[in-house]
Amino acid sequence: MNNSKNQNTTNSKFLNFTTMKNYILYSFILLTGLLFNACSDDDTPPAPVDEEEVITTLMVTLTSNTGQTITLNSQDLDGDGPNDPTISVSAPLSVATTYSGVIELLNETVSPAEPIHEEVAEESAEHQFFYTQGGNINVTTNYGDFDGNGNPLGLSFSLSTTSAGQGTMTFTLRHEPLKPNDGTLSGAGGETDLSVTFPITIE
């Protein structure tokens, strides 16, 4: 590179090239240095995300006209993580009994637990619960609460049993279903926010 004096006599443009070349090389080294220096800034870990919408817990409380209380509970603290929900039913249902049912939804990933059912009640027009039975049971359900347009919501309901049997009850919460609808899941469409199946014994 220091031969430029020699080159200068033969080609004046070469000096320019060499100088420019050096500028460019130096700025590359400088830039790269800056780049990798600037990068080693703070190494503090980011905050964990407070999951705001997650429903971890479904609690259905059935109270009979005789004052018997049965709770159906499903809890899944890691949401879509690998642990399955834990499902429990406190006692078998009695034959020929009418229960009044109340549904509570909780987000227990935050403390204190967030009552999601309040949000659902606020947006009653965009939500609806569906109760589906399977197996060898025969129960009737009726909606106990309604949205502003008089369409069912289903956070409270009544449930009447007839004869003894064993089967399942599935509670499904749909977001933005068709309202009014024909009362079936397929007729309502929408997006499933919650779907829990409990084993039910009536005796």
Position among 73, 74, 128, 161 found at the interface with another protein (CB under 8 A): 74
Q: Does residue 5 bind another protein (CB under 8 A)?
A: no
C-beta separation of 132 from 172 below 8 A: yes
Query: How many residues contact another protein, by CB under 8 A?
Result: 67
Nearest in space to 162 (alpha carbons), one of 97, 65, 93, 90: 97
Pick from 8, 21, 69, 162 the residue near another protein by CB under 8 A. Answer: 21
Q: Does 42 bind another protein (CB under 8 A)?
A: no
Does position 3 interact with another protein (CB under 8 A)? The reply is: yes
CA dihedral 105, 110, 111, 113 (to 10 degrees): 0
Per CB under 8 A, 52 contacts another protein = yes
Residue type, 171: F
Burial call 42-64: b when 16+ CB within 10 Å, e when fewer: eeeeeeeeeeeebbbbbebbbeb
Amino acid, res. 19: T
Q: Which stretch binds another protein (CB under 8 A): 53-61, 63-71, 96-104, 146-154?
A: 53-61
> Residue 153: which residues within 8 A CB-CB, separation 6 or more?
120, 121, 124, 127, 128, 129, 143, 145, 146, 147
- Pick the closer one to another protein by CB: 64 or 125: 125
List of residues contacting another protein (CB under 8 A): 3, 11, 13-14, 16-17, 20-21, 24-25, 27-28, 31-32, 35-36, 38-39, 45-53, 55-58, 74, 76-85, 109, 116, 119-120, 122-123, 132, 134-135, 168, 170, 172, 175-176, 184-186, 189, 191-197
